[in-house]
Structures are given as C-alpha cells and as structure tokens.
A and B are shown apart, each in its own frame.
Chain A
Amino acid sequence: MQKVYNKIISVTGNVITVKAEGIANEELAEISTSRGKSLAQVIKLDHDIVSLQVFAGSQGIATNDEVRFLGNPMRVTFSDDMIGRIFNGSGIPRDKGPALTENLIEIAGPSVNPAKRIIPRNMIRTNIPMIDLFNSLVVSQKLPIFSVSGEPYNELLARIALQAEVDMIVLGGIGLKYDQYMYFKNTLEEGGALSRSIFFIHTASDPIVEGLMVPDLCLAVAEKFALNGKNVLVLLTDMTNFADALKEIAITMEQVPSNRGYPGDLYSQLASRYEKAVDFDDAGSVTVLAATTMPGDDVTHPVPDNTGYITEGQFYLRNGRIEPFGSLSRLKQQVNDKTRDDHRAIMDGLIQLYAQYNETEEKRAMGFRMSEWDKKLLKYGKLFESNMMDLSVNISLEDALDKGWEILAECFTPEETRMKTDLINKFWPKSEKNKTKNAGK
C-alpha cells in the first residue's frame, strides 16, 4: 500500500511539504531526485498537507520529484551480523558490506518503566585513574564529556571504548569530522575492538538532518542487545551537533525559539535519548558516554546546561586532562565502597591536597614567599598531575590507589595527609615512610 505523490508544494530549508492522504505521523518516505534517493520523515500533518524533513537535504529537489511513502516509521535492522559494521545516519551501510534488511526494529521506542529500574551497582573500569579512582563510571550511567572544540574528547572516547569492560560498543558520530571517523575506525581496529563494535556515522560533510537519527539508531540497537544480555557502551559524539540539527529544523518549522534559537523542547529531546541508559535486572545494560562541546567554554550555553540537568554527572576535559573539580560522577557512591577500603579516603584526600596545591600555586605566581608546607604541596601537585591526571596514564584502579599512597609518602608525613590512622597503618608504603621522616629532619 505504498503511496506515491509527485507534487511537492513547498521547499523550505530541509523541510518539504506535499499534499497526501492517509499518512501517519513520523512515517518515512523516499524521495527520488536527480541526485538519487533520500529518506524523509513526516514531522507535521495539517489536513492533507504533509511536512517532511529530508535527510539528504533539499538541495536539488524538483517540484515534480517523486515522494513515495513507505507506510512505516524509521526502523533499523537488528542482528548479530551488525557487529563490526559501519552504517550512516539513515542506517544504510557505509562500509562495503551487504545491506541488512532483516528483522527491522522501530527506533525511539517507549521509555523504561521506572518501577523496573534498579539501583546501579557495577563499576566499569577504564584504567584511567581520573575516572576509575575519582569519578567512577557505573553501568547504566549517562555521562557527557564537556569540553571546547579542539580538546581530545574523541581520543578519550576511543580509549574508553578500547579499555572499558563491556561486551559491545555502539559508536554514534554526529557531524563527525572525517579524519576523526577514520581515527575511531583505525584505533578500534588496531586495538581489536572493531569486532565488538557497531558504528553509526554521520560526518560533517553529510546533510545535517541525517545526524538527527544517529542517537536513536544507536540507542535502539543498544537497547535490543542489552535485552539479549549484552552490556553495551554507547558513545555519542558530538551531541552539540545533534542539538544544532534540532535547532535548524525547529527554526525552519517556524517554532518559537526559547533560548539562543534552540527549541523549547530541547530538554525533553535530549532526555529521551539519555534516559535510554538502563541496567535491566535480569539482562544486559546500556551505558551512555557523550561528547558535548561547549561553544565558548560556556557551561551555561543551552546544550551543556540542559545536558547537565539530565545526565548523572559530567567529565570536564580541559587542557587535555580530566578536570578534577568540576567533574562529577553522581553514581560513584554506589560502587566505590565495594572496591578497596582506601578508595574513598584516597579519592577525597588526594583531591583536597590538590585543591590546596592550586591555592599555593596561585600564591607562588603572585610572588608570595613559600613556606615548607607550600613547597611540599608544590611537589605534590606536580606529581599528582603527571601520575594521575595525565591522560596517557594507563593503570588499574588498584595500581592507581597504590600510586596515590606512593605520592603521598613521597611528599608528606602520614599526619599531614589527614588520613585515618588505620588506613595509614595498612597502606602507607613502609620504606618510603622512613625516608620521608629522615628527609624532613
């Protein structure tokens, strides 16, 4: 019962309208133009006037081009054959592999019943101390990486993808630069992780509307795999591009913008994606890590601002390092009491000392005289930055905790660290202890 029309009434931005009857909301259509075929989705119905957003953009659309309604909403294939494959923003293979048309599932399905959710309980180890030790990533968490453009957020995502203990990785690129796409592909291939990954890639050169579908495609597939018992990590980069695509469509549709041109439903749109992160009680899970670039390093910009209200914390990436102060994992309390006795104490202790180091560093820069204590802090700060904050550091949580004690012992006496005595007795490096004491005298 496919319906074909070839009278396009209007073309505005990437939205076209046709006169058609019996069309369902959010139904897909295929438009054949001289440039080839493109998918389009119904976004508004008014009597017999149907508005569609055209994924490939409206350039070159002729008023007599053929619009064929497909009678179904956007769907994506779901099968194990997808693993290791690369698709575009319409779900069509980008690699040279065969098209997959079996077992189609609907995207943007209903949300999970809150009564069926469970309290998060499992940590995902990444071997990055700034994450594992200070802001543990938890299964089913949704967490953005806030950074300005130019920061190595994609490198960070790729590294997490390689090292995270998960069954599967679904990567969604929205407005991804081509070289970044190749970087992901090559890195995961070299690391042997491509065979457990699925890519949905919309590059910066693709039509912007096509990027709108990427998060939904990724999350629909991830959710299905999770229901089949897989622990899936979804990486989305960059969600600011997604929000910008939403903005473009909203403005074209003459919606009243709310804040800096973004539509009033930006929060709901972002939330319906991020909230797909879930831990199913007796099946798998979906964890979402998303890069969100902050225009002008402004966290009050509508995209990072709305994101922050939705996600369970955030990582700030600044000067190539995960910032220890603004970064927060809201779920870390659920897991970091089950790792090692000293985890929380080291987490708090090292950060407090690093905060003191920052104050001292400011004083030093202003030319104040440095006391003995100040000198210790300066030494500590340098060691902390190179051994913990540097993104190249690649050690397990336990090694990172040991390293923490080592740094403390190298710089301070046990009393100066304000650690609990029983922890000091258990974990303080024995040989270093004497060395520091003697050195202090």
Chain B
Amino acid sequence: MNKTKGTIIGINGNMISVEFDGNIIQNEVGYAITGEDRLKSEVVKISGNIAYMQVFEITKGLKVGDKVEFSGEMLSVQLGPGILGMVYDGLQNPLNELAELHGFFLKRGVILDALDFKREWEFTPVAKKGDTVQAAGELGTVPEGIFEHKIFVPFQLQGDYKITSIAEKGKYKVTDTIATIENEKGEKQKLTMYFDWPVKLPIEFYRDKLVPKEPLVTQTRIIDTFFPVAKGGTYCIPGPFGAGKTVLQQVTSRFAEADIVIIAACGERAGEVVETLREFPEITDPRTGKSLMERTIIICNTSSMPVAAREASVYTAATLGEYYRQMGLNVLLLADSTSRWAQAMRELSGRLEEIPGEEAFPAYLESRIAQFYERAGLVEFEDGSFGSLTIGGTVSPAGGNFEEPVTQSTLKVVGAFHGLSRDRSNARRYPAIHPLDSWSKYNSMIDDKPIQYARDILRKGNDVHQMMLVVGEEGTSIEDFTIYLKSEFLDNVYLQQNSFDSVDGATSPERQKYIFNYVYNVLAKSFNLKEKDEARNFFNKLRQLFIDWNYTDMKDAAFKKQEAKITQLIEETSDNAEGV
C-alpha cells in the first residue's frame, strides 16, 4: 500500500494543518519531518484535503512546507509479554531504555519498541495444528512474573483461521513466528507473540459484560467499609491541591488486592512518579512474595511532557489494562489526574477552533469521559472465566470547587465517589475522604444495617457540632454531646488511617470486619455519662486505647490484650440497663 504524504500549511502550538493527497484515516498516525527529527502526530480532524493533526512533541522549528508521512495505522500500542514492570511515556515509549540511550533529557522524535525484542520467553503451546481460531483465541502461554501470559491470535484478525503450524514448547523471542494460520480463502498469516492494537478502540472479546459485585479490597478502611470499589467498577477522587489525592492513589497502588496495577501519571508532578519508580522495586508484595514492581505498569506523562501525549496516555493505560484483563486477571487502573487529560482535550479543542462549552472545555467532554470509564468492567469470556478492569481516576477541580465540568461529568458515570475535603486535610484527618458527601453504589463487605447506623451517627454528630458552634457546649444536652463524641470517635479510630504505619496503613478485610463490629457496638451502646467533661475524658481514653490497638498486628498477642483493656473500660462505663 502506498503511504499517503502531505505538506504542512499551518502551525498553531502543537496543532498542525496538513494538505494531503490520497486517503487517510481519522486518528491515523503521521510523522512531521523536520531536519533529522520525525515528530509523531495523530489526525484529529479531516476537512476536505486538509488534515488537522496534534503533534506529540514540541513543534519548535517546524515550517510551513515541511513534509508529513502518514503511516496508514491508527495510534497503537504493542501488546505482548514483557509489559509488566515497565515504565512508559504516554505513547508507550519505554523511559528507562530512553534514558540509557539519551541520558537526562527526553530527546525529541525518538521512538523505541515498547517490548524487549531480544528477550526470550518460554512458550508453551495450547492450541494445536488444525485447530480453528479467531481473534483473541489462545495460542499458548509464556510465564511473565507471577502470571501465565496468554499469547493471543491478534485482535484485529477477522473471520476463522486454521492453524497450519504452531511452535513447540521452547524459548522464543516476541518477534519469532510461533504459528502460521490460513483462512478459507487461502490467505496465510505468520503470527508472532506480539501485535499492535489502536488505543482508542476498546478490546471487546468477551461473551458478556457483567454488573460488578465483588469488592476490590484497597485496605483503606473508609473506602472498603463505607465507600467500596468493586472489581470491574469505576470510582473517582476529586479534591483540591494538597488534599492527598496522590498519596491515596499511591497507597491504593501498593495495597489493593488486584493482580495488576497500572498507574497512569497523567500531567502531574514528575517527582511523585519517582517515588513509585524508586520504591516499588524494593517493596515485596505480601501476596506474592515478589517485588511490587512485577505487578505494576507505570504510564508516565508528567506535566512538562508534551500535552498531546498526555491526551493519549489514559487510552494507552486503558488498552494495556484491557489486554491483561483478557487473560482472566483483575486489573486496577489508577489515573492521576483525569483533569489534566481533560485539559489536554481543551487545549486541542481550542486550537481546532471548536465552539467551546463550559469553562472552554469541548462539548464532547462528557462523552469522552464516559467512554473512558466504560472501558472498565467485569467480563465473562467464552470459556466461562472472568476478568476485570477497575478504573479509579483523580480529578483536580479548579479552586477545589466540585461544580465544574470535569468533576460533574465524571460523577455521572462512576460507581463511587470519594470526595476529598480541604477542611479534613487541613485538620490532618487522613485519608481526607469526606464521610458525608462521598458515596458508592457498590456493596460493602460489611452488612448494610450497621453501616447505615454508623453513617447516621456521623450525620447527627455533624449536626450537633454545627449547633455547638452557635450555642456553645453549655447549650448542648449530654445526649447530643455523646452523639457528637461518638461520631468523633468513629472518625478518629476508623475513618482516619495512618498510611505511613506498617500495620495501620493497610487493614485486611478480616480485620476491618472485626474492628468495625467492635466500633459499631460502641456506637450503639448507651453509656452512663452524666457530665460533659466525664464524657470527653472517657472518649479520649477510649480513643487513645483504640488507636494503639490499630497499630498492633492482629497476629500479635498484644492484640487480644489491648482488646481486653478496651472492653474493660467500656464495661466500667456502660449503662447496663440499656446496653445492647
């Protein structure tokens, strides 16, 4: 096929307009050629014989009249073994390999293969010669980290193919031919262990998409108990700067009970990614005994990297997530921050001179956000196995005000909302998820009734607190005051969690169930407290004991000892006549 060629006729920031001859595809990749550099670009709008393209690099030095070569392919990623543990930019350029070649800086126009073409993998065939296969059919497996990485028939093949040969068990590179196939028309294809797939097309080779049910444990108590996330579900974390969005994402990426975690650092600080980059290889995943990095993929397109690549980065991350989901794994994608992605869309939209919507975001902002979150899901494959992709995105609303287009569009499509509050973070109440504003449509691992009861206490406690600000403590009845103290107690010992502590930082589901039940009993108990000072002292003491309990490993003998101490204190003060 003859590749289409074009000539630049206009440059506006990272957008170029290109006059072309022949045919091109929407979202096709082209290369703008300036001197030695080939700048990767993507077609975003076609009008007559003019293509508008966003350039994934700095456009400094480009000229009107410079040539553009179209590739005939949509913007794609390489799918195959060797993605786990990698650090990519938004276009799947491996950053460590780039650093080895070009040192400190990201040199313009350098594109490397995402997969290591020299590495050999131990291939075990699953399909046999003579089998009929379709796209996404399984040819065999290679071990990758702790998983069996399935080698698929490339997703873009159409119709039935017969396997005419398949490689025997042994070591192969991803570029080696491992199978040959032929269709009814006699068209032959050689298959390798990798193939390309366009990032903006969802991978949908499953029998059914199901409603997410099973919780995805994050080991953060306020999330798992009150605002749970489901495997295959979606959630968002909006919050002003400094409220702890990124710390929460980092904690989740470390402790979440997912098979694979993909971190998409989209337009945020490079420094934050560095911590993950340097620390994850050193941390052992308690569930597998291997380095945490082996289950992690980092897509890193930080704020100073080209904006257009930032727009692509969330799609790259979603595509990799869907690819591993196809192997029957539970994948968690954490996107930080989706606002930066939306801003990248806004910049592009402005350059295309589209009619702007609210705050100059494009009119299609909502549908793009919806499409992105819709790529999550719990799916059942033809063979009856399941896989899931969960997406959690942070939102950075301007001025911390949730009434802005990105937050609002996101809230419409996600299954859980973890709203971070400036007040809570100022009061050092971490994680700063607001317990009254947040919500989740997924089922908690704990029964609904006690949770509703606890939330009720929080709501009432908040009301009492507001009232006390006006009338002072003196004007508050002891009953109301006790409710306020109970809500503070729940907040202090259960909702707040010290993510830097080795024990308190991650609370297993068993522990959460156990502790929550205990907290619930305290909330439901009626205490023999007559004076406010007495009540305050009691709850202060109780809180101190409880926090110490939170820092104690459940397996330690000290755990039961501490529990006994707490129980004793409660017994001494409880009102036996009305006890629960």
Query: Could you list which residues of chain B lie within 8 angstroms of chain A, going by C-beta atoms?
Result: 9-13, 17, 58-65, 87, 95-96, 98-99, 102-108, 240-242, 265, 267, 269-271, 273-275, 277-279, 300, 302-305, 307, 340, 343-344, 346-347, 350, 356, 359-361, 396, 398-401, 426
| Seed contacts A24-B61, A46-B12, A267-B343; 18 additional CB < 8 Å A-B pairs | A24-B62, A25-B60, A25-B62, A46-B9, A48-B64, A111-B304, A113-B102, A114-B87, A114-B270, A117-B270, A227-B104, A256-B360, A258-B361, A259-B398, A265-B343, A265-B347, A268-B344, A275-B302
Return the contact of B307 from the options A48, A110, A265, A325 (Cβ within 8 A): A265
Q: Nearest chain-A residue to B306 (Cβ)?
A: A111
Q: Which residues of B contact A112 (CB under 8 A)?
A: 104-106, 270
How distant is the Cα of A361 from the Cα of B508 in the complex, in angstroms? Answer: 43
Q: Nearest chain-A residue to B500 (Cβ)?
A: A333
How distant is the Cα of A255 from the Cα of B356 in the complex, in angstroms? Answer: 11
B104 and A276 form a contact (CB under 8 A): no
B99 and A115 form a contact (CB under 8 A): yes
A47 and B426 form a contact (CB under 8 A): no
How distant is the Cα of A115 from the Cα of B293 in the complex, in angstroms? Answer: 14
B108 and A110 form a contact (CB under 8 A): yes
In chain A, positions 11-55 with a C-beta closer than 8 Å to chain B are: 21-27, 44-48
How distant is the Cα of A115 from the Cα of B62 in the complex, in angstroms? Answer: 28
In chain A, positions 248-292 with a C-beta closer than 8 Å to chain B are: 255-259, 263-265, 267-268, 271-272, 274-276, 280
- Number of A-B contacts defined by CB within 8 Å: 169
Nearest Cβ in chain A — how far from B47, in angstroms?
14
How distant is the Cα of A45 from the Cα of B32 in the complex, in angstroms? Answer: 15
B9 and A47 form a contact (CB under 8 A): yes
How distant is the Cα of A272 from the Cα of B304 in the complex, in angstroms? Answer: 4
Return the contact of A111 from the options B17, B106, B267 (Cβ within 8 A): B106
Q: Show 24 A/B contacts (Cβ-Cβ < 8 Å), sorted by A.
A: A22-B65, A25-B63, A26-B59, A45-B12, A46-B9, A46-B17, A47-B9, A48-B64, A111-B270, A112-B106, A112-B270, A113-B104, A113-B106, A114-B265, A114-B277, A116-B99, A118-B274, A256-B356, A259-B398, A264-B350, A275-B269, A280-B104, A300-B400, A301-B399
B60 and A26 form a contact (CB under 8 A): yes
A25 and B105 form a contact (CB under 8 A): no
A320 interfacial by beta-carbon distance below 8 Å: no
Q: Which residues of B contact A310 (CB under 8 A)?
A: 269, 303
How distant is the Cα of A403 from the Cα of B233 in the complex, in angstroms? Answer: 53
A213 interfacial by beta-carbon distance below 8 Å: no
Q: Nearest chain-A residue to B59 (Cβ)?
A: A25
A110 and B58 form a contact (CB under 8 A): yes
**Residue among A22, A25, A47, A117 with the highest chain B CB neighbour number at 10 A:** A25
How distant is the Cα of A35 from the Cα of B42 in the complex, in angstroms? Answer: 44
Assign chain A's interface to a size class.
Answer: 35 or more
Q: Which residues of B contact A264 (CB under 8 A)?
A: 343, 346-347, 350, 360
A286-329 interface mask toward B, CB cutoff 8 Å, 1 = contact, 0 = none? 00000000000001111001101110110000000000011010
Q: Nearest chain-B residue to A301 (Cβ)?
A: B399
How distant is the Cα of A110 from the Cα of B56 in the complex, in angstroms? Answer: 13
Q: Which residues of B contact A84 (CB under 8 A)?
A: none
How distant is the Cα of A275 from the Cα of B231 in the complex, in angstroms? Answer: 35
A109 interfacial by beta-carbon distance below 8 Å: yes
Given contacts A47-B64, A116-B103, A300-B400, contact A312 B347 (CB under 8 A): no
Nearest Cβ in chain A — how far from B476, in angstroms?
16
Q: Which residues of A contact B95 (CB under 8 A)?
A: 113-115
Q: Which residues of B contact A258 (CB under 8 A)?
A: 346, 359-361
A45 and B11 form a contact (CB under 8 A): yes
How distant is the Cα of A227 from the Cα of B105 in the complex, in angstroms? Answer: 11
How distant is the Cα of A302 from the Cα of B359 in the complex, in angstroms? Answer: 12
How distant is the Cα of A205 from the Cα of B307 in the complex, in angstroms? Answer: 33
How distant is the Cα of A272 from the Cα of B17 in the complex, in angstroms? Answer: 24
Q: Which residues of B contact A302 (CB under 8 A)?
A: 398
Q: Which residues of B contact A308 (CB under 8 A)?
A: 240-242
How distant is the Cα of A110 from the Cα of B306 in the complex, in angstroms? Answer: 9
Given contacts A264-B350, A268-B347, contact A116 B62 (CB under 8 A): no
Q: Nearest chain-A residue to B358 (Cβ)?
A: A258
Q: Which residues of B contact A26 (CB under 8 A)?
A: 59-61
Q: Which residues of A contact B87 (CB under 8 A)?
A: 114-115
Q: Nearest chain-A residue to B268 (Cβ)?
A: A309
A45 and B64 form a contact (CB under 8 A): yes
Q: Nearest chain-A residue to B63 (Cβ)?
A: A24
Return the contact of A268 from the options B62, B102, B343 (Cβ within 8 A): B343
How distant is the Cα of A314 from the Cα of B269 in the complex, in angstroms? Answer: 14
Return the contact of A275 from the options B13, B61, B64, B304 (Cβ within 8 A): B304
